Structure 1
């Protein structure tokens, strides 16, 4: 069963990484963006489902569990951003912070493929995400107007988290850079996408 789960995880991961490029590069709201986006969601759900099964029923190092938690939280959070905020979002953020604390206390349980350094870097990134999510009810009206940005950035983060885990596992001799490089590229991509969006919005406001 473990072998079957791994093979399904890898196959779905390859599909998700291929499909995820299309909604990332196409115009938001377009028919092609929506279609490929939902295909990415289907493949990503299978990827993360297999990952959760793997870390739940088979012993895994804490940094790998941390990576799984980060990708899952960003993936689900990106989908939740399309909806209105409610108590489920707060509970999810609090549960994730609690999991981060537990993993921080157990991060020494790493190995050559998933060293504690990787786990701590992911933990810091995810903790900032959850604290941001917990702050949203304080500025709910403003967030509602820009929640599409939240959706886009989190789905981008989830995509590169999958890429980081996949490349790190498939190219172990390149670690830690085979894991860190996709995450760094993802962070730069998120900053660039946000900059482009804000620039376009500013031009539209000036034109209006």
Structure 2
């Protein structure tokens, strides 16, 4: 795959180098900042500040990933990173908004973002299928799933969803965002350190293990806080 959307700058071109440096710096900062809410005291000042920094960094990661796609020849690796970045940003922003509003229901800006994200997801699926970039289409499908759920909730709200504690949405979305970002980090960097004759299952494990372990931890955490909230709501 050597086609490009608009430009075909080399990796040594100044705009590409600036975008890549920003992308790496923002991604690294996001991974470090994301540890603070997960490991620190919940709801404290540092939790809030680090969470906000994480979302801002994921926005920078998504924007720079798109910029690199526009400036450089398309590759499967580039499309993969862009797909992960878009998914991770949407999950982080929607989860952050739930905590900021203290509500699982969606305000008008959230509804608009969900519709835009749904359109972007559809575009990613179509582009991925056209370019035979399966992973790009896959991540576009995941964006369609989450943004579609949010859009449906906006248009046809259900009482059970409206009554769902905002904290659970916050935990699930931010956790999913971190898993996606961490998996991308591992996939990109593991390929650089593994020997050429490394068994194929190692590469597969890098994909599967973080998602599996992270999903189990998120599910366990959500169950814990759901039970805790129900217990505190009892008279």
Distance 1:55 1:124 in 2: 19
Alignment match of 2:151 (pick from 113, 131, 134):
134
Distance 2:114 2:26 in 1: 29
**1:66 match:** 83
TM, length-normalised to structure 1? 0.79
**2:93 match:** 76
Contact 1:63 1:120 in 2 (8 A): no
Distance 1:120 1:95 in 2: 13
Q: 2:208 matched to 1:186?
A: no
What is the CA-CA distance between 1:120 and the residue it aligns to?
5.6
If each structure's helix is expressed as a fraction of its own residues, which one has the higher value? Answer: 1
What is the CA-CA distance between 1:182 and the residue it aligns to?
2.3
What is the CA-CA distance between 1:88 and the residue it aligns to?
0.8
Distance 1:147 1:140 in 2: 15
What is the CA-CA distance between 1:104 and the residue it aligns to?
4.4
Q: 2:61 matched to 1:44?
A: no
| CA RMSD between the two structures | 2.7
Which of the two has higher C-alpha Rg? 2
**1:161 match:** 180
Q: Deviations over 1:148-194 (max 9, x none)?
A: 32223212211121111111111114423323332333322221221
Q: Alignment length, in residue pairs?
A: 200
**2:199 match:** none
In the alignment, structure 2 segments of 5+ residues that lack a partner are 1-14, 195-201
Contact 1:93 1:134 in 2 (8 A): no
Distance 1:11 1:93 in 2: 25
Distance 2:211 2:140 in 1: 13
